Amino acid sequence: MKIVTAVVLSTVIGCLAFSAQKVALPTDGDRIAKLFFVFLLTILVHGQIAGAGISPYAKMCGVDVQDVTWTEGFWAEKFELCRRATLPSIESALLDERNGAQLINFKIAAGLEQGSHRGTHWSDGDCYKWLEAMAYMFAVTRDSELDRKMDYWIGIIAKAQAPDGYISTTIQLDPQKKRWQHVGHHALYNMGHLITAACAHYRATGKDSFLNIAIKVADYLYTVFAPRPPELVHMDFNPSQIMALLDLYRVTGNRKYLELADIFITMRGSAPATPEEGRKKGHIGGTDQTQDRVPLRKETQAVGHAVTGTYLWCGAADLYMETGERALLKALERIWESARRRTYITGGAGALHEGLSPRGDIVHEAFGDDYQLPNRTAYNETCANIGYAMWNWRMLQITGDAKYADVMETVLYNSGLSPLSADGRHFFYANPLAWDGRDGWPTKHYTGTRWFVHSCYCCPPQVARTIAGLGRWAYSVSTDGIWVHLYAGNKLCTKLPNGSTVALTQKTDYPWDGNVKIFVTETPQEPWALRLRIPSWAKGAKLKVNGIPVAVKSGTYATLKRKWSAGDVVELDIPLAVRLVKPHPKMDDCRGRVAVVRGPVVYCYERPQGQPCVSLSPNVRLTPRYENGMVVLVGNNFTLIPYFAWANHGPSFMDVWLPLARRDRR
């Protein structure tokens, strides 16, 4: 489709260009020259348009969010909860003066209301994440009320933007503060999220109102950062702007955004702090806290703040997809291996509230050392867990390696979902793996129940934009077919790169039941490949095409390349046996314990406050039972529930890692 569009567009442009120049074509030589000119334009235009599809150094790209309609089961329920409860709850919180993120700041900056800035320095960024979530929701539902609401706030944001493109209300509304005065002002985080939300809005609505604001922002950032001013070398803290600039590059084709993204990646780690500065509490810049001690291309470890880290690696993965620079991919692969040893069975990222990096820098909200994974004090900020999934999704698009899809799915069913209450309106900030009733310890971010408003409101819109936009992660398109990453009841209707339409219907009650049926409802005549993810834990998975068995291997994508017909049925049976997972011997906090996992879902033992934890025998019988919309595991006098569902009935105690009953215990 894109190629066809490109050819048509370039032919039109080519003809217009020639008629504008009133070029006569008396000879064959001129005609050949004209054809060559059109051919060049075709390549150029196609290059621009292809930027919105599969990136040149990625194996695949996610489908458009509106290509997937959730129809039944787990993600259909969560999507509906997001539409009905989560997005309105976030809107109410953003308008509630007790909250850390505040929509009113835009009205004040626009001159529509009187007052001073309220909330955190990064309040703007969290408001943009809510707009991004609404854009995805609108793309799928076409709910005109969402469209109206987005138009309303975009109009105000446009008025709040400074004439030169700058926008960060925390600075604009405080005459005492100057632009680029302090890294803690989060200006790049704010403007990065604006750009991402604007690209989502443009794709969802086709309107350029928000996109034009974003282009002004990015052009302004280019004038400030492209000269690489040494005094701003540590100004980039939470780098949402890197992936944002790459998104804007894909939408507009303007290479200066690609160049600027590269500058931000290269700037980090180029001016390391002294070891003394690294040991100074609260110091930001040049240390492991912000992945700023070692240049990314030379990094070997996952260190520092877990949100800034995962966002940086997302940005670097996006940059690799466009440039193919091997040093970036090699570094990301090394960091990923390190991160595997520093993240939780729930996909939680950022073990430490406060501690030291392996290189001796003071870090907070950060990755710890290998297997330094405490349970009760696990920080696992919601934003970081989801950032980890975002990074793994990008690595999957680059490589096609199923190990990245496994991590992404682990986050989605566990640490990325535990922040959200069953009613869809309340949230966790920290996501520890054990709870002992000490509310607000060791910091206020650890709470035993979810809240509606919070002094730091970054996490709720992070959850909302993930659930609202999840269709993009369910399937990808590559040059020869479709990849299925997530199993859930849905209908897919998308286009292959050659422009032909593929439509599939997926029926399943996964993750509670492992049977997945995929019906082909529309297909081109030519053969194409349907690739199905076989999770690494799914030993003994069975696959059939129209009833005929096909061999599969866990931890890979099963490739079914054939001439498809409407009515073809693919049936996958994923075994969901309960697994008792042993901790790594170096995980001190888990010694003598096991975790219970079924499919991608991690279980926990929740109980009234003060009650001891249950002990499991190594051959414990746990019977799956469907109740209250989920599968619980019933043992002898106890019940385990999915980790994501804990703390929905008031304060409690909870453990993910459960002690093993030892035969020699007296």
By the criterion CB under 5 A, which residues form the site for Zn ion? 381, 383, 458-459
User: Which residue, 383 or 604, has its beta carbon nearer to Zn ion?
Assistant: 383
Residue 75 Cβ vs Zn ion, minimum distance, rounded to whole Å:
22
By C-beta, is 94 or 458 nearer to Zn ion?
Answer: 458
User: Any long-range contacts for 230-233 (C-beta under 8 Å, 24+ apart)?
Assistant: 230/271, 232/180, 233/267, 233/270, 233/271, 233/285
Distance of CA 409 to the CA centre of its chain: 11
By beta-carbon proximity to Zn ion, the closer residue of 383 and 574 is 383
CA 114, 116, 119, 125 dihedral sign is: positive
CB of 383 to Zn ion, least distance (A): 3
Determine the Cα–Cα distance for residues 614 and 484; give it in Å rounded to an integer.
Answer: 38
Cβ burial of 56 (10 Å; 0-12, 13-18, 19+) is exposed
Contact 278, 292 (CB under 8 A): no
Which is nearer to Zn ion, 458 or 484 (by Cβ)?
A: 458
DSSP string, 89-145: HHHHHHT-TTSSS-THHHHHHTTSS-----S-TTHHHHHHHHHHHHHHHHHHH--HH
Least Å distance, CB 420 to Zn ion, is 13
**Angle CA(626)–CA(631)–CA(636) in degrees, nearest 5?**
90
Measured CA to CA, the distance from residue 651 to residue 69 in angstroms comes to: 36
Q: Which is nearer to Zn ion, 314 or 640 (CB)?
A: 314
- Please state the closest distance from residue 459 (CB atom) to Zn ion, in A: 4
Min dist. Cβ of residue 382 to Zn ion (A):
5
Q: Which amino acid is at 638?
A: F
Shortest Å, Cβ 460 to Zn ion: 8
Could you tell me which residues are beta bridge partners of residue 544?
A: 549, 571
Three-class secondary structure of residue 293 per DSSP = coil
**Which of 67/381 has CB closer to Zn ion?**
381
* Shortest distance (Å) from residue 430 CB to Zn ion: 9
Q: Which is nearer to Zn ion, 243 or 496 (CB)?
A: 243
Task: CB nearer to Zn ion: give 383 or 492.
Answer: 383
Nearer to Zn ion, 292 or 381 (CB): 381
Minimum distance from residue 129 beta carbon to Zn ion (Å): 10
- Name the residue among 213, 214, 240, 206 with its Cα closest to residue 126: 240
Nearest C-alpha neighbor of 183 from the set 249, 121, 260, 251: 121
Query: Residue 459 or residue 596: which is nearer to Zn ion going by CB?
Result: 459
Q: ∠ at Cα 494 (502, 529), nearest 5°?
A: 50
Paired residues of 255 in beta bridges: none
Q: How far is the CB of 218 from Zn ion (least distance, A)?
A: 24
- Residue with Cβ nearer Zn ion (198 or 459): 459
Closest to Zn ion by CB, 64 or 381: 381
Give the H or E element holding residue 550: strand 548-550
Minimum gap (Å) between residue 443 Cβ and Zn ion: 13
Q: How far is the CB of 381 from Zn ion (least distance, A)?
A: 5
Q: Amino acid letter at 155?
A: G
Distance from first CA to last CA of the chain, Å, rounded?
71
Q: Sign of dihedral through CA atoms 544, 76, 640, 378?
A: positive
CB 436 within 8 A of CB 653: yes
Measured CA angle at 628 (ends 623, 634), to 5 deg: 20
Which CB sits closer to Zn ion, 213 or 459?
459
CB of 427 to Zn ion, least distance (A): 9
Q: How far apart are CB 307 and Zn ion at their closest, in Å?
A: 7
Give CA–CA dist 10/3, Å, rounded.
Answer: 10
Pairing relationship of beta strands 528-534 and 556-562 according to DSSP bridges = antiparallel
Residue 44 parent element (H or E): helix 28-50
Give 109 or 456: the residue with its C-beta nearer to Zn ion: 456
656 in Cβ contact with 595 (< 8 Å): yes
Extract the tokens encoding 63. Answer: 């489908």
Integer CA distances (angstroms), 641 to 365, 416, 418, 611, in order: 27, 16, 12, 16
Sign of dihedral through CA atoms 579, 584, 589, 592? positive
Q: Within 10 Å of residue 355's Cβ, how many Cβ atoms?
A: 18
Q: How far is the CB of 170 from Zn ion (least distance, A)?
A: 17
Give least dist CB 541 to Zn ion, A: 35
> With respect to Zn ion, which residue has the nearer C-beta, 458 or 468?
458
Task: Kindly state the tokens that stand for 558.
Answer: 């099963």
